[in-house]
C-alpha cells in the first residue's frame, strides 16, 4: 500500500495462483501492535519491532488444514483448525481465491502473552495470512488480506476491529478512517519516536475489556476526543513530537479500562516524570506504553515501571522499539 493513499476496500477477484512458488514451506514473523494509540479507539494503531508471533506453514498435498503444533501459549489455544483464528482466517482466504483444495499444516509459535493488549491474536493471524499468500505466489496488494484478518479478530474477541491487524499487516502507523466501507490510511511518523512497552502479568481479555466501556458519550467528551485525534494525526504529519504527546489523551475509554491495570495512574506519573512524551494503555490492556524521544529514556521507563510492578508482586515483561514500518517478514 502506498503511503498516505486512501484505499476503499472491496473484495477483489485474485489472479490464478500457483501452489508453492517453488517452496514447500515458509516461516513468517508478524509484529505486535499498539492499538488505539490512547485517543483513537478502534481507529489508530502502529506496529513495533518486538515482540511478534511466528507461523511455519507446510504444503501437505492432502486437502484440508491441520495445526500440528502451538508453542508459547501455555496450552490455551485450540489445535482444532475450526476453532483457531489463524486456520479459520487462512481457510476464508483459500475459499476466496478458489483454492480450498490445498492441504496445509500450520505451526504457531507465540512469542507474546495472550490477552496482553499487544495484538497477540492479530500477529498470529497476519503471520498465517502472509504465509499462505507468499506460499501461493499471490502478489496482490496485502490490503486484500485485511478482511480475512478482521474475521480472525471477530472470532478472537467478538468484534472485527482492524486497529491491530492493519498495522500488523502493513507495518507503520495506520488510521482506519472508516469500517463501512473499509478505508485505511497509512500515516507518516517521526523516525525518532521510541516506544516503551510494559506488560504487567495480569489477564485482560479484549472481549471483556470491550464489554465494560460506555455505550453512550457526552458531546463535550466527544469534542475533546476528536480534537485530540486530529491533533495526534497532525503531529504525525508535522513530525511534531510535542503535539503528538499533548494530543494523546483519552476521556472516553481510559477512565474505565485503567481500573483493570495495576497502579495505572502511578505508572503514568512515573513515566511522565522520567521524560515520556505520552503514556497510555496499549489496545485493551493490560500492557501500557510510553512514547519517548530517545531509546535511553524508553529503557529507563521500562526498567523503573518493572521495578514498581515487582514491588507490587506483579510479574512483567517489557519491550523497547521504534515503529516497525516493515510489517510481516519471511524468516525462511
Ligand atoms: N481497539 C481495540 C480495543 C483493540 O480497544 O478493544 C484491542 O486490542
Q: What is the pTM of this model?
A: 0.93
Please give the grid coordinates belonging to residue 301: 521507563
Q: Is 287 in the pocket of ligand 1 (CB under 6 A)?
A: no
- Listed as ranges, residues in the chain with pLDDT below 50 are 1-15
Q: How far is the first Cα of the chain from the last one, in angstroms, to the nearest whole number?
A: 24
Q: Is 246 in the pocket of ligand 1 (CB under 6 A)?
A: no
DSSP state of 323: B
**Rounded-to-integer distance, Cα 185 and Cα 2, Å:** 9
CATH 3.30.230.10 fits 5-187, yes or no: yes
Active site residues: 153, 206
Per-residue pLDDT at 39: 98
Percent of the chain with pLDDT over 90: 86
Radius of gyration of the chain (CA): 19
Smallest CA separation from ligand 1 atom 4, residue:
283
The per-residue pLDDT for range 164-177, each reduced to its tens digit, is 999 999 999 999 99
My answer on whether omega of the bond before 51 falls inside 30° of 0, hence cis, is yes
Residues 111/54, Cβ–Cβ less than 8 Å: yes
Q: Is 284 in the pocket of ligand 1 (CB under 6 A)?
A: yes
Comparing CA positions, the residue from 62, 69, 152, 145 lying closest to residue 104 is 62
- Domain parsing of the chain, residue ranges: 5-187, 194-322
The per-residue pLDDT for range 215-242, each reduced to its tens digit, is 999 999 999 999 999 999 999 999 999 9
Atom of ligand 1 nearest to the CA of 36: 1
Please provide the CATH number assigned to the domain covering 194-322. Answer: 3.30.70.890
Within 10 angstroms of residue 20's Cβ, the number of other Cβ atoms is 14
Amino acid at each position: 500500500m502506498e503511503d498516505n493513499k486512501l484505499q476503499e476496500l472491496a473484495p477483489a477477484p485474485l489472479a490464478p495462483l500457483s501452489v508453492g512458488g517453488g517452496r514447500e514451506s515458509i516461516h513468517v514473523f508478524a509484529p505486535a501492535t499498539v492499538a488505539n494509540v490512547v485517543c483513537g479507539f478502534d481507529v489508530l494503531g502502529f506496529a513495533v519491532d518486538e515482540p511478534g508471533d511466528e507461523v511455519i506453514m507446510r504444503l501437505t498435498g492432502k486437502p484440508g488444514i491441520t495445526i500440528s503444533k502451538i508453542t508459547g501459549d501455555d496450552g490455551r489455544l485450540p489445535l482444532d483448525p475450526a476453532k483457531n483464528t489463524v486456520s479459520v482466517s487462512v481457510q476464508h482466504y483459500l475459499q476466496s481465491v478458489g483454492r480450498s483444495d490445498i492441504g496445509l499444516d500450520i505451526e504457531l509459535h507465540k512469542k507474546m502473552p495472550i490477552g496482553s493488549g499487544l495484538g497477540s491474536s492479530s500477529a498470529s493471524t497476519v503471520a498465517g495470512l502472509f504465509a499462505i499468500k507468499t506460499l501461493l505466489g499471490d502478489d496482490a496488494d496485502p490490503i486484500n488480506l485485511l478482511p480475512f484478518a478482521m474475521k480472525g479478530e471477530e472470532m478472537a474477541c467478538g468484534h472485527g476491529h482492524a486497529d491491530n491487524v492493519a498495522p500488523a499487516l502493513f507495518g507503520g502507523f495506520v488510521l482506519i478512517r472508516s469500517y463501512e466501507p473499509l478505508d485505511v490510511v497509512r500515516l507518516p511518523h517521526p523516525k525518532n519516536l521510541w516506544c516503551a512497552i510494559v506488560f504487567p502479568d495480569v489477564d485482560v481479555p479484549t472481549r471483556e475489556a470491550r464489554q465494560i466501556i460506555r455505550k453512550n458519550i457526552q458531546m463535550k467528551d466527544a469534542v475533546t476526543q476528536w480534537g485530540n485525534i486530529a491533533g495526534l494525526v497532525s503531529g504525525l504529519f508535522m513530525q511534531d513530537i510535542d503535539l503528538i504527546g499533548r494530543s494523546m489523551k483519552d476521556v472516553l475509554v481510559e477512565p474505565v479500562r485503567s481500573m483493570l491495570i495495576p497502579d495505572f495512574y502511578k505508572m503514568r506519573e512515573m513515566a511522565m516524570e522520567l521524560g515520556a512524551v505520552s503514556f497510555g494503555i496499549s489496545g485493551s490492556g493490560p500492557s501500557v506504553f510510553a512514547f519517548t524521544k530517545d531509546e535511553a529514556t524508553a529503557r529507563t521507563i521500562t526498567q523503573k515501571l518493572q521495578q514498581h510492578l515487582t514491588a507490587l508482586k506483579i510479574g512483567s515483561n517489557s519491550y523497547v522499539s521504534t515503529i516497525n514500518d516493515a510489517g510481516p517478514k519471511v524468516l525462511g
